[in-house]
């Protein structure tokens, strides 16, 4: 094998021109002959007994060339990749260069490789960092959340009101025929929650246990295509009406929902929790802004395969999330009127951003010669165990050493950027100064 040339192409591709010599080609022809000799009939010989020269004499000397090229290509290609020390990302596209002969053959292989990354500035950056402020209203919202979590539903013998929960059977009909996904039994629905199609919950206000009612509903225009804008009828039977039994917010409540004896102690702890959460959120946003600057500052020619893989990973993550919500992926596409092609198309831009971020982090790791010690890895396992409430041994079942090494290295790279950066206070809109942070996805 001889690498005649190794040329860099756009999108971080390399074009290899590889020559397979006569001895290597002849050995491959011999392998092809031994694998395929029973296929060829030669007068006077039983199948598989004719020599290579006899078969070549009857069928032509090129009879085994195609199979021999397939035999010789993998070893020649792998040897060329190793010789040129290429970090290959995907399978190559291959074509013959010229006509094979007893002297061998030449082929060209275009292959995507890990791109060369030139870092821009990654130390001494600056970014806004949100100041942390916790108000009494913030604490009250947390108390209400605890109250809601400990609120019981109690059956009542009266008409349903907004905020009540009704237990119902329902079935939807379009043009007098039931439609798919329009039926449920013993379903608990909180009136006013807007969990059902518009108009459904409102028409159940005033009903009571034992009532049967037909609801006339028009589906929104942005609903699933087969129902969008259609008029349907839901037949509903109300089995039960329940109201919320809200606990009294006093010291007994604090004892019931926490390890504290008084509401003052509980409120103080909630304030500490909110402060810690907001400080962590502000730090994450600070780090994200800095790393976006680093990613924007790199010089790189990204191969298409990295973007395609990342976009597919986004879609695969969506599939898992949909499944965890109790739907199939096909149901999700039907409800949203989308397609996988559209999802992949929409994922292209965020995929590019994520790939640039990953390449920037890897470049910092290499530039700074970062390494992971056993202590680093064990400390990260311990931190994940504490965060998840699992023991360290169980965490190790979910994250192998390589995954943990990557996580630790990434954290070290980000720390190099953030530790050298400066923060400045952004201008805040008055209404957002004490807003509760959005829940993480």
One domain, residues 310 and 427: yes
Final residue in a domain of this structure, among 112, 137, 166: 112
One domain, residues 289 and 416: yes
Determine contact, residues 409/365, Cβ cutoff 8 Å.
yes
> Three-state SS across 130-197?
CCCCCCHHHHHHHHHHHHHHCCEEEECCCCCCCCCEEEEEEEEEECCEEEEEEEEEEEEEECCCCCCC
One domain, residues 215 and 273: no
What percent of the chain shows pLDDT beyond 70? 97
One domain, residues 293 and 336: yes
Confidence (pLDDT) at 326: 86
One domain, residues 241 and 269: no
Residues 133-161 have a mean pLDDT of 95
For 222-269, what is each residue's pLDDT tens digit? Answer: 888 888 899 999 999 999 999 999 999 999 999 999 999 999 999 999
One domain, residues 241 and 278: no
Measured between alpha carbons, how far is 36 from 243 in angstroms, rounded to an integer?
Answer: 80
For 313-350, what is each residue's pLDDT tens digit? Answer: 999 999 999 999 888 899 889 888 889 999 999 999 99
Determine contact, residues 233/217, Cβ cutoff 8 Å.
yes
Q: How many domains does the chain have?
A: 3
One domain, residues 277 and 401: yes
Query: What is the crossing angle of helices 22-36 and 52-59, to 10°?
Result: 90
Please classify residue 155 by burial: count the beta carbons closer than 10 Å to its beta carbon, then call 0-12 exposed, 13-18 middle and 19+ buried. exposed
Determine contact, residues 168/189, Cβ cutoff 8 Å.
yes
- Specify which residues 18 forms β-bridges with: 3, 107
Measured between alpha carbons, how far is 230 from 81 in angstroms, rounded to an integer?
Answer: 60
Domain that holds residue 40: 2-112
Measured between alpha carbons, how far is 191 from 296 in angstroms, rounded to an integer?
Answer: 48
Give the confidence band of 441 by pLDDT, cuts at 50, 70, 90: very low
Confidence (pLDDT) at 429: 60
Residues 357-377 have a mean pLDDT of 96
Q: What is the pTM of this model?
A: 0.72
Question: Using a CB cutoff of 8 Å and minimum separation of 24, what contacts does 210-218 make?
Answer: 210/238, 210/239, 211/237, 211/238, 212/236, 212/237, 212/238, 213/238, 217/172
> Three-state SS across 52-91?
HHHHHHHHCCCCCHHHHHHHHHHHHHHHHHHHCCCCECCC
One domain, residues 274 and 232: no
Confidence (pLDDT) at 428: 58
Domain membership of residue 118 (yes or no) is no
Determine contact, residues 154/243, Cβ cutoff 8 Å.
yes
One domain, residues 214 and 347: no
| Token pair belonging to 176 | 């007098």
Give the single-character DSSP code of 118.
B
Residue 431 has pLDDT above 80, yes or no: no
β-pairing, 152-155 with 422-424? unpaired
One domain, residues 276 and 373: yes
Rounded to 5 degrees, what are φ and ψ at 248?
A: -70, 135
Final residue in a domain of this structure, among 112, 144, 166: 112
Query: Hey, how many other C-beta atoms are within 10 angstroms of the C-beta on 160?
Result: 24
For 191-219, what is each residue's pLDDT tens digit? Answer: 999 989 999 999 999 999 999 999 999 99
Q: Ramachandran region of residue 206, left (φ > 0), alpha (ψ -120 to 50) or beta?
A: left
Determine contact, residues 405/111, Cβ cutoff 8 Å.
no
One domain, residues 180 and 309: no
CATH number at residue 346: 1.10.3120.10
Measured between alpha carbons, how far is 398 from 393 in angstroms, rounded to an integer?
Answer: 9
One domain, residues 388 and 302: yes
Residue 436 has pLDDT above 70, yes or no: no
Please report the DSSP string for 349-410 in residue order: HHHHHHHHHHHHHHHHHHHTT----HHHHHHHHHHHHHHHT--HHHHHHHS-HHHHHHHHHH
Determine contact, residues 166/236, Cβ cutoff 8 Å.
no
CATH number at residue 18: 3.30.70.1050
Domain membership of residue 438 (yes or no) is no
Measured between alpha carbons, how far is 43 from 49 in angstroms, rounded to an integer?
Answer: 11
Question: Using a CB cutoff of 8 Å and minimum separation of 24, what contacts does 388-392 make?
Answer: none
| Token pair belonging to 219 | 């589906």
Would you give the end-to-end CA distance of the chain in angstroms?
A: 53
Confidence (pLDDT) at 110: 97
């Amino acid at each position: 094998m001889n690498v005649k040339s190794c040329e860099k192409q756009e999108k971080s591709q390399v074009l290899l021109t590889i020559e397979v010599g006569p001895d290597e080609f002849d050995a491959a022809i011999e392998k092809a002959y031994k694998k395929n000799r029973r296929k060829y009939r030669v007068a006077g010989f039983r199948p598989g007994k004719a020599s290579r020269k006899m078969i070549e004499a009857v069928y032509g000397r090129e009879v085994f060339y195609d199979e021999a090229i397939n035999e010789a290509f993998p070893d020649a290609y792998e040897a060329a990749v190793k010789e040129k020390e290429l970090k290959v990302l995907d399978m190559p596209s291959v074509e013959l260069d010229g006509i094979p002969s007893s002297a061998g053959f030449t082929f060209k292989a275009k292959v995507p490789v890990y791109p060369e990354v030139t870092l821009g500035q990654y130390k001494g950056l600056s970014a806004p960092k949100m100041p942390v402020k916790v108000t009494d209203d913030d604490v009250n919202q947390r108390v209400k959340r605890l109250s809601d979590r400990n609120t019981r539903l109690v059956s009542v013998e009266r008409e349903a009101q907004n905020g009540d929960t009704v237990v119902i059977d329902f079935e939807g009909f379009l043009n007098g025929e039931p439609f798919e996904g329009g039926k449920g039994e013993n379903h608990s629905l909180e009136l006013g929650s807007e969990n059902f199609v518009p108009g459904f919950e409102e028409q159940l206000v005033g009903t009571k246990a034992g009532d049967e009612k037909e609801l006339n509903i028009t589906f929104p225009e942005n609903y699933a295509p087969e129902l969008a804008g259609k008029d349907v009828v839901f037949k509903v039977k109300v089995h039960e009406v329940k109201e919320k039994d809200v606990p009294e917010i006093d010291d007994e409540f604090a004892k019931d929902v926490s390890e504290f004896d008084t509401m003052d102690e509980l409120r103080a702890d909630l304030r500490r929790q909110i402060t810690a959460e907001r400080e962590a959120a502000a730090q994450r946003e600070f780090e994200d802004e800095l790393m976006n600057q680093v990613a924007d500052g790199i010089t790189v020619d990204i191969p298409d395969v990295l973007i395609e893989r990342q976009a597919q990973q986004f879609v695969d993550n969506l599939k898992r999330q949909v499944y965890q919500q109790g739907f199939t992926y096909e149901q999700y596409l039907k409800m949203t009127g989308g397609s996988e092609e559209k999802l992949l198309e929409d994922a292209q831009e965020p995929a590019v951003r994520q790939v640039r971020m990953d390449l920037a982090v890897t470049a910092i790791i290499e530039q700074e010669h970062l390494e992971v010690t056993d202590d680093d890895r064990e400390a990260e396992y311990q931190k994940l165990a504490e965060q998840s409430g699992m023991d360290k041994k169980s965490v190790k079942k979910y994250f192998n050493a390589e995954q943990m090494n990557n996580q630790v290295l990434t954290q070290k790279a980000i720390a190099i950027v953030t530790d050298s950066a400066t923060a400045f206070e952004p201008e805040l809109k008055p209404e957002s100064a004490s807003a509760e942070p959005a829940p993480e996805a």
